[in-house]
Structure 1
């Protein structure tokens, strides 16, 4: 495709014009997507198929219809340049491919593969995302591609009952405890880096980049609840994680802000900090913000979470103490509480009524 006549070749990225659409057209490929498209045949040779949007032969389907690009399956772009969905050709399962620059994140592969190898891989308390394969990008020794199971955001679909939320707390507590027992600090374990193996909740599938919709975007995707089909939760993204020697009981790391930038010990000091109490803060603050403050009825988590988010990191419980205290909390909850519906504080009344009816229909079925 030729460049516009009034465009100086030196002022543009020529790759952006190497596609069936002008770069400014709605639904056009981004620079990152063009990079993935260039890897399509290589990935196919390794057993991973990208969506039609990323094939050289792709022609936008909306060009021959009255639809807008956002109503078409091939109009949905990836939401992060280094991550793309794919289908494993050997069994048809959804996977995620993540590009990693080794010079920028030199520890990510080592930590991911450490938890993906036996005997740790089969330990039920291991909640680190499995690395299925590592591919070396041709012609660039600094780039590798992780192949991982396709996971969903931990709160999609929404929690139906308190029992589902309690199961979530249990898994993330034991998962972070497992990492700490093996001398690994995550350093960015807020809600954005916790996901679940929720593919089996959707009997007819969903669009990987528009996860509430059917694969063809023709409507909302039907799903089961976590009570009907229990899920497992995983920590992802070990880009700033660190693994320490067992002899180093109180390591010190330069401060680095993750997704949650409210860490108290980072406010008034630039001194290196022990990352393990900061992990405890991240998890406690996630529960405070996403459950106690956002939903009704989670006061039973208040005392534990308050201790986890104390300003002084020395006063926070370690993850062994968190797990022990949570076990006692869990035992104190009766079956009526666990089966009760979770209600969002800011949900519209009509939405709450709809969820109330759906919840009781499920309970009657049970």
Structure 2
């Protein structure tokens, strides 16, 4: 005779109070003291003594500095206590991403870090989580999205293209395929574009969330762009070439060779597709005036991977394109296809005022770091 065991009654969990810590944030709070001992201070929100600043004030939690919730469960900002600089912390699950740390450290090594063609994010240090061998923390300089603030001129975008192409070419030259190099994984060292700072999560706002953060331009203060997130990346030896890997779908789900087959493919042409499709969707389709790069991008996103150019060819062809662009074109304003007429008029006036000043001061039209 069998006996049945009654199922445990489900206990209804209380709803999370708006603005309170979510589950991923609790992990950071629980490791705050260890991170502080390691030299990195988290914001007030993640300290034991935190009391929400909006309580009893009538303010909304989302209008307060300590009420903003990170959008990424594995990333958090911190302050390096030794010099006060803003850094980014990334929690890496080593069993899931066994190659990420080694590849990140390869491009941060003394032998490669000083090469100006190296556009891989620099690793300041790796911290082993003391209570869980499966997790480590990558400490990196804080980066901003590559297109925030918005590009002002074609020269600024040309600088971005040069650096993005050069960075992926450098990775491929060292036999590393990124395998997820769409726009989500290209960042810039744009902290200096905001002289009065910005909130590290809601990055268009002032540090105290009291208004919009004011910024300067890339033309006046050039930035360097970086490839980040090597969780899906792989390094090969010369004997492995050409490598063959089963499809692995990153942020861009449109890769032609992944649509109808699970057959292993060479990941290097897939990288070329990712970068080309980022330009196609983010610039050619979204903004006016990028006809000059359409032929190159069309080749980079061909359905047949074997017909795509290598990154060496991409860099060479784009250098020819760049030399064909006039100073007038390079200093011209970038206009969004969905830009309202009144906003376009206002931005055009501001742009011309800046443009004349830059020309008089002989500031280069293509701002390279």
**Which TM-score tier does this pair reach, normalised by the shorter chain?**
over 0.9
Distance 1:140 1:9 in 2: 31
For the residues of structure 2 that align with 1:356 and 1:98, how far apart are their CA atoms?
Answer: 39
Q: 1:12 to 1:318 in 2, by over 3 A?
A: farther
Partner residue of 1:103?
A: 95
Alpha-carbon distance in structure 2 between the residues aligned to 1:302 and 1:365: 31
167, 184, 190: which one aligns with 2:182? 190
In structure 2, which of residues 226, 230, 246 is the aligned counterpart of residue 238 of structure 1? 230
Matches within 5 A, 1:121-132: 121-132=113-124
Task: Find the counterpart in structure 1 of residue 322 from structure 2.
Answer: 330
Residues 23 and 29 in structure 1, CA contact (< 8 A), matched pair in contact too: no
Q: Which among 40, 44, 53 is matched to residue 52 of structure 1?
A: 44
**Which residue in 2 is equivalent to 1:203?**
195
Is residue 2:275 matched to residue 1:287?
A: no
Unaligned runs of 5+ in 1: 1-7, 14-21
In structure 1, C-alpha distance between the alignment counterparts of 2:184 and 2:12, rounded to whole Å: 34
| Equivalent residue, structure 2, for 1:3 | none
Match of 2:25 in 1: 33
Query: Structure 2-normalised TM-score?
Result: 0.93
1:62 aligned residue: 54
How far apart are the structure 1 equivalents of 2:25 and 2:288?
41
Is the contact made by 1:135 and 1:146 (CA closer than 8 Å) also made in structure 2? yes
1:78 equivalent in structure 2: 70
Counterpart of 1:219?
211
- How much does 1:248 deviate? 2.0
Q: Distance in 2 between matches of 1:350 and 1:146?
A: 44
1:239-287 alpha-carbon deviations (Å, 9 max, x no partner): 0100000222210001111110100111121100000000000000000
Matched with 1:259 is 251
Distance 1:74 1:23, change over 3 A: farther
Q: CA contact under 8 A between 1:86 and 1:94: conserved in structure 2?
A: yes
Distance 2:218 2:11 in 1: 52
Q: 1:268 maps to what in 2?
A: 260
**Is the partner of 1:327 in helix, strand or coil?**
helix
> Given the alignment, which residue of 137, 148, 158 partners 2:150?
158
Q: Could you say what the CA RMSD is over the residues aligned between the two structures, in angstroms?
A: 1.3
User: Aligned partners of 1:333, 1:250: CA distance in 2, in Å?
Assistant: 36
Following superposition, the deviation at residue 88 of structure 1 comes to 0.6
In 1, the alpha carbon distance for the partners of 2:60 and 2:170 equals 47
- Give the direction of change, closer, same or farther, for the CA distance of 1:199–1:37 in structure 2 (3 Å limit): same
Cα distance in 1 between the residues matched to 2:204 and 2:353: 21
Q: Give SS of 1:237's match.
A: coil
2:79 counterpart (84, 87, 92): 87
Aligned partners of 1:188 and 1:282 also within 8 Å: yes
Matches of 2:284 and 2:162, distance apart in 1: 16
Please state whether the residue corresponding to 1:195 is helix, strand or coil: strand
1:364 positional shift = 2.7
Q: CA deviation at 1:349?
A: 1.6
1:157 Cα deviation from its structure 2 partner = 0.2
Deviation string 1:26-49 (CA, Å, 9 cap, x unpaired) is 101101111100111110111101
Which secondary structure state, in structure 2, belongs to the residue aligned with residue 64 of structure 1? coil
Q: Which range moved further: 162-171 or 355-364? A: 355-364
User: 2:140 is matched with which residue?
Assistant: 148
* Residue 10 (structure 1) shift: 7.3
Moved over 6 A (4+): none
- Superposed, 1:290-301 pairs within 5 Å as 290-301=282-293
